[in-house]
Amino acid sequence: MAIFMDRHDLAGTSAEDIADAHRRDLAVEDRYGVRFLTYWYDQRRGTAFCLIDAPDAETAQCVHREAHGFIAGEVVEVALSAVEAFLGRINEPEQKAGETGVERDAGHRAILFTDIVGSTEMTTRLGDRMAAELVRAHDAIVRRCLAQCEGREVKHTGDGIMAAFISTHAAVGCAMSIQREFRTYNSGTPEPIHVRIGLDCGEPIEDSRDLFGSTVQLAARLCAEADSDQILVSENIFREHGAADLFANASRRSLKGFEKPVLAFECEWADADEARSN
């Protein structure tokens, strides 16, 4: 058995319709030796994602075909650990006593990368032990901000952290908090830590065979492209966040892995702090 996630385009379908379709899947799954673990539904975008334990992708499609006819447009094999890291669960959300239903997570996520600027030079200059101490200081600051902003750490990259957020606003707010925390930290230490941050947002299954493939790739590339103490965000983040006055210096950048130049925006976190204090 393997774990698959599928993607359905269901514009105009209600949350009740999707919940009923999921119940129909559960009613016939045993005939095919399949287990439907949970699903996500984004009514605004008209997309649904099912997480399925099945012998193969076609068998999972057979259940959909018999149960309700909503055939997935794409089916991708995934790792449960990755699903849980990005989306926070791999089973149906628990329903409390007295609740008639559970609010359905859309599955849309903002992805954030941090990176310590000049980490290689830092290790050469300070040595492994001291450099490791500074990395731990970075991790503590970033993880504290993630906890405050309901971010979920996906993995440690060696000199940075990748994290996921349900809310785009929370992701941008967390990025700003991280930069503020490092500014405070740097004002009281002889060995400052400067970080760069990149952000993008998207769906679990897009145009890549990997979970959040292109979203992760773009967030990572924007992070690598950012200057010291800078936050770069994608056009998707800019549009979803909505606070146009928070972003500036829009420019198209040629990024590794992307055929066409990508529109990126700088988050003016320092200017926002000044405006708030005045």
8-29 pLDDT, tens per residue? Answer: 999 999 999 999 999 999 999 9
Whether the pLDDT of residue 272 is over 70: the answer is no
Q: What is the arithmetic mean of pLDDT over 97-125? A: 86
Structural domain ending residue among the three candidates 24, 57, 87: 87
What per-residue confidence (pLDDT) applies to 167? 96
Angle at the Cα of 14 from the Cα atoms of 13 and 16, rounded to 5 degrees: 130
Q: What is the arithmetic mean of pLDDT over 216-238? A: 97
Residues forming beta bridges with residue 201, ordered by sequence position: 110
Give the confidence band of 102 by pLDDT, cuts at 50, 70, 90. Answer: low
Q: What is the arithmetic mean of pLDDT over 252-257? A: 95
Tell me the pLDDT of the chain averaged across its residues. Answer: 93
Listed in sequence order, the residues at least 6 apart from 44 whose beta carbon sits closer than 8 Å to its beta carbon are 106
| 148 lies in the same domain as 209 | yes
| 46 lies in the same domain as 123 | no
Distance CA 169, CA 156 (A): 23
| 113 lies in the same domain as 189 | yes
What per-residue confidence (pLDDT) applies to 271? 73
Distance CA 211, CA 206 (A): 8
Q: How many domains does the chain have?
A: 2
